[in-house]
Amino acid sequence: MGVPAGWKSIDRAEALVLVQRVASLNPQIGTLVQTMAGNGSLIKLVTYDPHLIAGFATNANIVAQPSPGSSISSVVTLELPLLRQVLHPIGLKRTAIRVAGRPANEISFNARFNGPSGAALVDETQIYMIDKGMLYVLTLTTLPAQRTAYAATFAAIVKSLSFG
């Protein structure tokens, strides 16, 4: 994945601290965070724009895990109930796309998260892809008011994805 110029990446240890801090403020995602932070952490990359807007850092991350199915459609169908239960998405949209020459699904929605300065509505796009038996999920997160401003950056991140 290409990291936008000026963005900062954090290592796995910092990412684990960050996701555990987010989970402490958002108990509904605690189980999900424990899974991501377990042995052989699923987190592969976390990068963010250091220019905060309303105290929020627009960010991107990739997690990877063994795929629970062989087709992206069946995997996303399995994942959606958990996403609905944990994140309570608002305005969820699912779109079949192609990324890095393979089928993918894009899930976009808004969700409420608690932060140090209170609750905030965030705009999230998740791209689900399978390669060699692994499920990769790219998550792009910003504030709803910044979605248009980050559209080109997010599109460039998705376009930069490749598998070795």
Residue type, 55: G
Domains observed in the chain: 51-160 (3.40.1000.10)
* 159 Cβ neighbours under 8 A, 6+ residues apart: none
Which residues lie across from 126 on neighbouring strands? Answer: 107, 139
- At residue 157, φ and ψ (nearest 5 deg) are -60, -50
What pLDDT score was predicted for residue 87? 86
What pLDDT score was predicted for residue 1? 87
What pLDDT score was predicted for residue 164? 76
Q: Rounded to two decimals, what is the model's pTM?
A: 0.88
Place of tokens 């990446």: 9
Place of tokens 């509904």: 28
Segment holding 30, helix H or strand E: helix 30-37
Q: Compute and round to an integer the Cα radius of gyration of the chain.
A: 15
What pLDDT score was predicted for residue 27? 66
* pLDDT average, residue stretch 4-17: 83
* 118 Cβ neighbours under 8 A, 6+ residues apart: none
* pLDDT average, residue stretch 8-22: 77
pLDDT tens-place string over residues 51-85: 988 888 899 999 899 999 989 999 999 999 988 98
What pLDDT score was predicted for residue 29? 67
pLDDT at 37 over 60: no
Please say whether the beta carbons of 150 and 144 come within 8 A.
Answer: no
What pLDDT score was predicted for residue 120? 83
